[in-house]
Amino acid sequence: MDWTRRQGHILTGDGRLEQLYRDFDEEELPHYHLSKGRSWQIFEQWQASPATRSTSACVAGVWSRPLFVGGWEHSDASQETVYNLQTPSVFLDMRVPCGVEFPGARGLRDLSLEQLRLYARRHAFAGITRVQSIDGAPVATRHHAVDWNFVGRMRPRPNKWRIEARQQRPRCDVWKEWGFARDEHGQHIYMERWERVKGGTGPYLALRRRPEASGGGRDAFLIVCGDHFGYVEDRAAAARGDWGRYASLVEVVDAAVKRGDRGAAEAYLDLKACHGMRREGGAWVIDYSLQPWLVGTTLLHSSDLELSSGGKEFKWNGAIWAVLECTFTAEQLQCLTGRGHVAARL
C-alpha cells in the first residue's frame, strides 16, 4: 500500500518540490492543456509546424528504470516494473509495483474492496514530450493527455527534467533524468536512470484515436517502437463523478471504498495500459499490463490495422486513428499491417 506514497516522496524530494520550484509558466504544467479540454488542438499545432515541433530523438526508444532516487529514498527494478516508450515526440509510461498480483482475477469485478485499493497504487500516463535547450543542455517537458492519477486537479509543478545521455555509439542506451528543480545546494531534486530494453529502438509509430471515434469520451494512444508496442485507453468521461474533489486516484478510490461505493471505485480504475511485443505471424501479444489478467492475450493482429487517408490515418477496432508521428518507410508500414513480405517483425 506504500508504493505510491514513496514514489511521490522521491519525486518531490521529501515534499520540497513546490517550495523549491516556483519559476515556471502555467502552460508548462502537465495537465494544463488536458484540463482545458484542448490537448488535441495544441498537440496538433505543435506537430504541424517545424517552428513548434520539438522532438526528444536523443531518448527515443523503450526504456526500463533500474534506479529512482530523491529525498533520501530510492526505488529500483526489484520494487517495480517500468516501461517507458518514447517516440521522438510521443510517450507512454507505465509503472507497476512488483509482487502485487491478483491470482484468479479476470477483471475488476473479481477484486475485493481492499484489493481495489491496492490495485489503485500503480501508474500509467501518455502524451507529448517537448525538448528545448537550456544552458546548453536538453530539457524535456511532458504534457499529459491520459493519466491514471489525474482526477481533476492539476499537478502543481511541471513534469520537467534535464537529459544527461551517456555518449555511446551507434546510439545512446543509457541516460539519466535529472529533475529540473534544484535545492539550495544546486542539487537536482531527484534522478532516474534509464536503460534501453532489448529491441527498443525504431522505427517509430504513434497513433491517437480520433475524439469523434472514442466511445464514452475515452482518449487512447497506440505506440510502436521497433518490435515493442504500448497501448493506453483513458477511463470514460462519465466515470468522473467526484472530478476535482480529490488530489489523486488513490484518494478517490480510498474514499469510494470507505463509503462502500464499489461502482465509483471501478469506474475510476477503468483505465487500460499495456506493453507487448509484435510476434511472428502478426500477433501483438501483451506481456505486461496494469491489468494483470490481460498478460498473454493478444491486443490485435497486424492485419487488423488498415492504412487510410494517404497514410495520415489508420483504421482499427471500428475507429479512426490519427498518425501523430511515423518514421516507418512505406514498405515497412506494409509489413506492419501484415500486407508486406514480412508480416510481423521488421
Chain segment 219-243, per-residue pLDDT in tens: 999 999 999 999 999 998 767 777 7
CA dihedral 305, 307, 309, 311 (to 10 degrees): 120
- Residue 195 β-bridge partners: 64, 174
Helix orientation angle between 262-269 and 249-258, rounded to the nearest 10 degrees? 160
- Residue 315 β-bridge partners: 306, 320
Answering whether pTM is above 0.85, one says yes
Residues ≥6 apart with Cβ < 8 Å to 38: none
Domain extent listing, the chain:
3-336
Chain segment 28-74, per-residue pLDDT in tens: 999 999 999 999 999 988 888 766 666 778 899 999 999 999 999 99
- pLDDT-based confidence at 215, cuts 50/70/90? low
Between 158 and 338, the more confident residue is 158
- Residue 133 β-bridge partners: 138
The identity of residue 106, as a single letter, is R
pLDDT at residue 244 above 60? Answer: yes
Q: How far is Cα 229 from Cα 205, in angstroms, rounded to an integer?
A: 9
- pLDDT-based confidence at 340, cuts 50/70/90? low
- pLDDT-based confidence at 199, cuts 50/70/90? very high
Chain segment 65-78, per-residue pLDDT in tens: 999 999 999 999 99
